[in-house]
Structure 1
Amino acid sequence: MNSKQYRLGVDAGGTFTDFVLADGAGQMRLFKATSTPEDGTRAIADGLGQIAQALGQPVGQILSNLDLCVNGTTVALNALIQHKGVKTGLICTAGHEDSLEIRLGHKEEGHRYDACYPAAKMLVERYLRRPIRERVLADGTVHTPLNEDDVRAACELFRREGVEAVAISFVWSVANGAHERRAAQIVREMLPDVYVSAGLEVFPQMREYTRTSTTVVNAYLGPVLSRYVNRIERFYLDNGVASPVRFYQSNGGMASPTAMASRAVNAINSGPASAPRAALFVARPFGYRNLITVDMGGTSFDITLTKDGATNVSKDIDFLRYRIGTPMIQVETLGAGGGSIAWIDAMGLLKVGPQSAGAVPGPACYMRGGVEPTVTDANVVLGYLNPESLLGGRVKIDGKASHAAIETQIAKPLGLGVGKAAYGIYNIVNVNMINGIRRVSIERGYDPRDFVLIAAGGATSLHIAGLAREIGVKTVLVPKLASGLCAFGQLLSDVKYNYMAACPMRIEPHTSFERVQRQFERLETDAVAALEREGFPRDRIQVERQLDMRYCGQVHECSVNIGAMEVSGETIGRIRELFDDRHKQLFTYAEPESQVEIVNIESTVYGVLDQPPEQTIEAGSGDIEIAVKARREMIFGRGQDIETVNAPVYDGTLLGAGDVIAGPAVIEEVTTSIVLPPRWSARLDSTGVYVLTDAGDAA
């Protein structure tokens, strides 16, 4: 990347679409546009127009100078949440049509003994799950040949019923995939316009239910995401992009449009998956490697935890009630955003979310038809947000509408003053977020006081000091790019693909590991060839290996990263030690004397890109009074006690490195506002990061 080139990261959220433009000199520019879920290209065109105006260059010239254009999207996630995927059919081994509903007899955590908890909505209707007479045994032996007439009859039914996607998953296809490959061939011949999702291609590892569920989710979302990817790529190409267009995956890496369209399941957590990469970049100059990244946008609140520089990647998890086997950055997501609606339940108790006003109609203050009070409206009433405009004046709002909505729908019914009602909304959403942070930290054996809190998302900085105080975190980092941190994280990432296979094997004194090694080499030959076709030279391709292992007799396995290590009799002792260590980390104990078995293998390949240089800002003058743009009445409190103070509002664009702001105060950046309660202070670092500390603790 040279100084004449740009990199563009675009993160399409539920309320706003964020744009981060980086140049070769280290300058980062952040832009925001209102999301347009019905047609994502409209929001992108809006953002590109802002970029063109700021740079004084035509859009086509900017796009032609991109050496990277990467996009994160919530299209797949929203389609799954709203059940707006396509009509899907399933071809499976006869007798296994109901595995999706049986779900291994499993209920989600917290509902295991709840007889009234409703069943998950099935993504494939029962009559569209077609049994196929075939059977492969665990050793790969064909017990019952594939009945091709059954496959053809299923295709005829799918054609009559208007099915748009077909999932194929046969029992033990991971041991012998001949039947599944032949069935996929027949479907593609008979239904050439239908999206085909084969288990061997999507998730070729052991666990029949997980493989079937993952394959079905991929089919259900595939046409939706494929249309989106093709439309976005065509938009960029038509407007002058010459470099490859990339899309962000749930595994924390980028993918080509072709790979993304064929693996829609990998796009479910596309947006928040890049936050940990950006957080590590932000924290690196300070030497921090234990990070909790929190991202509060307009619709949701996302949390990720990074320990010793590594963010946990999950497999075989239930996501939105559907089992997903493919690797995903572990993200805890709550319905707690700026658009979360405050309401009073039947017991007369104040609640916040998970319902959201979204971008349209939005909070009451947005003047887009919204009338229900939201978290954003509460922040306006508390004096934390400018009551007249947001985003540096680009978005006009009506603070009086916020006051009226909270007064009529919350304050009067509860017999409270408007200020106290707004602070109640603020406190409740904070408690919801704190509980989420505890789930990713304390409930997994981590003490949050050993971590630094990183702010991402446009609304996070309004709440982050309060969150830190309640969980005992002493240091908070708020980058100037906080509201677009996920888009920034995309620019820091590499192209990343996961290649998987089943390889069941017990580790015994005389075991030969040649089969495991050959499997790895086969996967990596295909992986390297795929990246070379995308233009990566061999010296820019890195490979990491993982083994899914367990103690014999266990139901669940854990993934062990072995780097580039070969699997052989000479290395298996070290691999066993790594497994015991990993098991102890996850489950607090290890059994070094127990027999161990390998279940699955995985090769993760990276197409490594150059990193953009770090941003630096000029030193401040030391006179922070020149940055004071206004004073506002603000409400602060702790617990049930509140007080109103007249506090300064600082223009963050006028602050320089080394400047220190003491609370109570608000620092207004163009796309976010940082609330400093009493006792808190913020120091602006030369990297463009505000370091927030509790001044009372420091004293």
Structure 2
Amino acid sequence: MRTQYRLGIDAGGTFTDFILADKDGGVQIFKVLSTPNEPTKAIRNGLALITEETGITAEEIVSNSDLCINGTTVGLNALITHNGAKTGLIATRGHEDSIEIRLGHKEDGYRYDPDYPPATMLVPRHLRRGVSERVISDGSVKTPMNEDDVRDACRYFLAEGVESVAISFVWSVLHPEHENRAAEIVREMMPGVRLTVGSQLYPQVREYTRTSTAIVNAYLAPILQRYVDAIDAYFRELGSKHPVRYFQSNGGLALGKVVSDQSVYAINSGPASAPQAALDVAAPWGDKNIITCDMGGTSFDITLTKDGKANVNKNIDFLRYRIGIPMIQVETLGAGGGSIGWIDSMGLMQMGPQSAGSEPGPACYGQGGEEPTTTDANLVLGYLNADGLVGGRLPLDVDKARKAIKTRLADPLGISVEKAAYGMFTIVNNNMVNAIRRVSVERGYDPRDFVLMGAGGATGAHITALAREMGIHKVLVSKLASGLCAYGQIISDVKYNYMAPAPLRLEGATAAKTLDDLFTGLEARGREDLADDGFSEERISIRRSLDMRYVGQVHECTVEIDPFEVTEASLGQIRAAFHARHKELYTYDEPHSAVEVVNVESTIAGHVDKPQRMKIAAGKGAESALKGTRPMVFSTEGTAHATPVYDGSALGAGDTLAGPAVIEEVTTTIVIEPGWKVTLHDSGVYLLTNGALVSAAKPRREKALVEA
């Protein structure tokens, strides 16, 4: 860190988290309620809270920070609520409906469901205008572009009040001149409009994916532009000496201009920092296989890191819209602290996905909510302190929680309030376990080979129950868990992705030179952009990847390689990497089959200085932190038992305790089920282990070794 502070801000659906690190290794966490309708208000409230608790003014913090980083859900919320900008599409005539045809099928999981409704189109049919032009697959022009068609589209868009325009032509990545000329005309006739050019945003083969990505970007660009302008202006008012950085879905930082121009990269920016934070938290134990669970007030996000690398997705359907750019794989479901319990038509209890959010919030918040939520259940079960969350700033009303559960669930089902609450707890846990299996088991990973990392303010109450269900015997929960994504932001690097189409067979000197020239050109652009951003060559690193397939295959897979000179001799190295990746994904490879490349990509990172790790003083024994006991329920019988409650702020390094117990930190509560042992590490991380789960896993591993 070059100056005194570093500030990370992660805006979630219910809470906005703040992490403030100083150059001496001090790291503090703060939380305020999010303000979805006025996102900048939560930032002001958070900085006011930091001033109240530390005595350091917002101006002092910002003017003395080397990095102020913002992860935002503005783009995500706009896409969820379909509240983006009025957008128009200029496409090759005859291809205006490619985004509605959607490659001829619905998303995976619903492909054969006749009752599954079509996705809401971000660009209605009348705002999709065709242009006479055609480029064919070898990059040659079959039909020159009719500029009058572009002008007619602009006149129509102006009359309709269009705010943002996307341009996407067939095979434009091999001949971008038509799109570039169309863009000039749009800028000339619609100078105030936001413009997205498909071949510039996502220069990759596949027309539908490119068009859909361009539309999503155009749909969000004005929203992100207004947000970035407001945030940047506010931080300038506070005396910021460095530009605000924004977190991207690819797991890296970017300047505001990049985020507003390439808004699609900001869709899932909040949870995308979780893998980086998890690796840092787990570093003292050397763990690199980590499943991170982030349960907030609205959603439950899961990310997976294998061998120190996060899963990255490309060409996925996200919220029903195809997005091509690389995104950290985040499995998200409606299972937050605000998830609402309800009874379905068959008389069965369900949890979520609908959420009470922060307004009005769970019934126990006392803000008008009447529906029973996960937080209400945890309060009734005794896991949460009725004195309140976030250090008592958000008091909880047990009577309102009990009333909501009794009225909506317990009485209709003919059971006690405690049994209903434990049922809510169990169901929401099962929902989360199923989601964890989607990022692990369904991708060929055994979750028992991973460490479970707790993140988010609500996860601590569920973490040992989730680990028990998954058979995971080791859990890590940082004192910063409720703001882990904000912490991940302040230790992350600047990262940009540069792409190019490369439709060629992987053989011969010509192919090798083409690939080498493409990579060299992309990386020269990346180095130049990072140099302009103040990064020296020593702080820049490069990762390469290629989208490849066997000749004749319809779909390709992404293969990562190290940066090296691509020669005819080294093509064998790339082919070998492809065969290995194909076998890993699909259980077989075809070493004697011809291989072809479709696209290439270089990821360029500018490495920033990392703040010092938190350091906790040695403890005096867990007994010194014991606050008393509280009745808690740990079984379906609904019977409460007096359970020890420990003050997390009074625990020190080396302090050890056993479950059942609860550890109360200022911004999270950790529920330790029976059978678990907890030790606080000097890095401020709780290590939770369960010997019974280790013993259960041992026969499985021995059997696997014998079979191997």
TM-score interval w.r.t. the shorter chain? over 0.9
Aligned-residue offset at 1:511? 4.5
Q: What whole-Å deviation, never above 9, does each CA across 1:357-378 have from its counterpart, x for those lacking one?
A: 0000000011111110000000
- The question of whether the paired residues in 1 share the 8 Å contact of 2:472 and 2:693 is answered with no
Count of matched residue pairs:
695
Measured after TM superposition, the shift of residue 509 of structure 1 is 4.7
Tell me how far 1:586 sits from its aligned partner.
1.4
1:512 to 1:371, Cα distance in 2 relative to 1, 3 A: closer
The alignment status of 1:404 with 2:403, answered yes or no, reads: yes
The within-5 A match list for 1:319-398 is: 319-398=318-397
Letter in 2 for 1:525: A
- Equivalent residue runs for 1:56-205 within 5 Å: 56-205=55-204
Contact between 1:40 and 1:232, CA under 8 Å: does it hold in 2? no
Deviates most, 87-96 or 43-52: 43-52
Distance 2:214 2:581 in 1: 29
CA separation of 1:40 and 1:510: change in aligned 2, threshold 3 A: closer
CA deviations 1:509-547 (Å, max 9, x no partner) are: 565421221122221222211111111122222222111
Alignment of 1:38-49 (within 5 A): 38-49=37-48
Q: Residue in 1 aligned with 2:705? A: none
Structure-2 separation of matches of 1:273 and 1:139? 37
After superposition, the C-alpha distances for 1:563-622 in whole angstroms (9 at most, x for unaligned) are: 212221121111111111111111111111110001101111111111112211011012
Q: Whole-Å Cα distance in 2 between the matches of residues 684 and 205 of structure 1?
A: 48
Return the offset for 1:106: 2.0
**671, 676, 679: which one aligns with 1:675:** 671
Q: Does 1:627 align with 2:630?
A: no
Contact persistence 1:28–1:615 (CA under 8 A): yes
* Aligned twin of 1:424: 423
The superposition leaves residues 255-292 of structure 1 with CA deviations (integer Å, 9 ceiling, x where unpaired) of 00000000110011100000000000011110111100
Q: Which shows bigger deviation, 9-18 or 500-509? A: 500-509
Q: Which amino acid aligns with 1:667?
A: I
Counterpart secondary structure, 2:686? strand
SS in 2 for 1:626: helix
- Output aligned runs, 1:278-357, within 5 Å: 278-357=277-356
Deviations along 1:136-165, one digit per CA (max 9) or x if unpaired, are: 111111111110000000000000001111
Aligned pairs for 1:677-692 within 5 A: 677-692=673-688
Q: Percent identity?
A: 60
1:255-274 to 2 correspondences below 5 Å: 255-274=254-273
Give me the TM-score of the superposition, normalised by structure 1: 0.98
User: Could you say what secondary structure the match of 1:337 adopts?
Assistant: coil
In the TM superposition, 1:484-495 aligns within 5 A as 484-495=483-494
Write the distance in 2 (CA, Å) between the matches of 1:6 and 1:695. Answer: 41
Q: Residue deviations 1:414-451, cap 9 Å, x none?
A: 00000000000000000000000111111111100000
Q: Within 1, Cα distance between the matches of 2:58 and 2:228? A: 20
2:573 aligns to what SS in structure 1? helix
Partner of 2:701 in structure 1? Answer: none
Q: What SS does the aligned partner of 1:393 have?
A: coil
Could you tell me which runs of 5 or more consecutive residues in structure 1 were left unpaired when the two chains were aligned.
none
Q: Which amino acid aligns with 2:186?
A: V
Structure 2 Cα separation of the partners of residues 66 and 445 of structure 1: 43
User: Quick one: which of 636, 645, 648 aligns to 2:644?
Assistant: 648
Matched residue, 1:540: 539
Distance 2:149 2:227 in 1: 33
Give the Cα–Cα distance (whole angstroms) in 1 for the partners of residues 85 and 159 of structure 2. 15
RMSD of aligned alpha carbons: 1.1
Amino acid in the other structure paired with 2:547: D
CA distance in 2, matches of 1:18, 1:510: 53
Instruction: Tell me the distance in 1 between the aligned counterparts of 2:10 and 2:448.
Output: 30
Aligned to 1:9: 8
CA distance in structure 1 between the aligned counterparts of 2:507 and 2:59, rounded to whole angstroms: 62
Deviation at 1:53, TM superposition (A): 2.6
Instruction: Return the offset for 1:35.
Output: 0.5
Counterpart residue type for residue 629 of structure 1: K
Match of 1:572 in 2: 571
Tell me if the contact between 2:509 and 2:567 (Cα under 8 Å) persists in the aligned partners.
Answer: no
State the one-letter code of the partner of 1:633: P
Q: Name the TM-score, length of structure 2 as normaliser.
A: 0.97
Is contact 2:626–2:646 with CA below 8 Å preserved after alignment? yes
Residue 472 of structure 2 aligns to a residue whose secondary structure is coil
Q: 2:506, 2:575 within 8 Å by CA — same for their partners in 1? A: no
- Which residue identity lines up with residue 87 of structure 1 in the other structure? K
Runs (5+) with no aligned partner, structure 2: 696-708
Query: Displacement, 1:200?
Result: 1.4
**2:689 matches 1:693:** yes
What SS does structure 2 have at the residue aligned with 1:159?
helix
